[in-house]
Every structure is written in structure tokens, then in C-alpha cells.
Amino acid sequence: MEFLLRTSTKVLDNMISTPSGLSEWFADDVNIKDDVYTFFWDGSEEQARLIKKKTNASVRWQWMEDEEEGLDTYFELRYEIDPMTKSVILTLTSFAEPDEVEESRFLWEGQIGQLKRKLGA
């Protein structure tokens, strides 16, 4: 999925890679220990391992549950500057079971919508 944002890559990098930034739009709260992020939502929690980070370019995690099952899945937020509009293009990659694709798409559209509101983008 692709989203157009009117923000700087520095601000976006903070919002998608730090606990304080992620807790503003992605989860109720976020903690990090080593390379494991714990995301808290409405009394539940999920953990994801940071598997790749390029400052001002991308962040990629793998849910610990998927890692334990030996799945080669991840979710990634990658971004670049559009040379024509100077806007940031955010590309989201996420894996879902075939019967969960629409639900996953709906969830991510809502989450990115919250990110856009926080950014004023």
C-alpha cells in the first residue's frame, strides 16, 4: 500500500521508529528492549523484532509469533521523497492470510490515517 504524506523524513522517521512516535499513532504504548518492540493495545500486547532499519528510508519488523513459527513474514514502512511534489511516499508491506487481506488493509488504512492526522499531513 502507498500513502502520500506532507512531512519531512526526519519527523516521519521519529514517528515510525521510536517508542514515543509509535505510541502516538500505532499503539497505546510501546516499549523496546534490545531489538524487541512490545506494542500495547487495549489490554493486549504483541511483540515484534526489529529486523532492519535504515535511517530516513525504512523500518522492518517481524512479529515474534511469526518468527517462532519459522515464517518468513514481516511488516515494513519504507519511504522516499517524490522528486516532483517533494512529498513523502510511504510504502507499507505487510503479510496476511488470504482470508484476512481485506481486514488487514482496513486496519492499516486506519493506522496510517492516524499517522497522517498526527503529522498534520
CATH of residue 71's domain is 3.30.530.20
Task: Kindly give the confidence (pLDDT) of every residue in the chain, 121 residues in length, as a single tens digit, with 9 standing for 90 and above.
Answer: 999 998 888 999 999 999 999 999 999 999 999 999 999 999 899 999 999 999 889 999 999 998 888 888 899 999 999 888 888 999 999 998 889 899 999 999 999 999 999 998 6
The whole-number pLDDT of residue 28 equals 94
Count the domains in the chain.
1
Domain that holds residue 75: 2-119
- Rounded to two decimals, the pTM is 0.87
The whole-number pLDDT of residue 121 equals 65
User: For residues 37, 105, 15 and 8, what is the CA-based torsion angle, rounded to 10 degrees?
Assistant: 150
Compute the distance between CA of residue 121 and CA of residue 103 in angstroms, rounded to an integer.
24
The grid coordinates listed for 78 are 519504507
Within its chain, how far is the Cα of 15 from the centroid? 9
85 contact partners, CB below 8 Å, separation of at least 6: 4
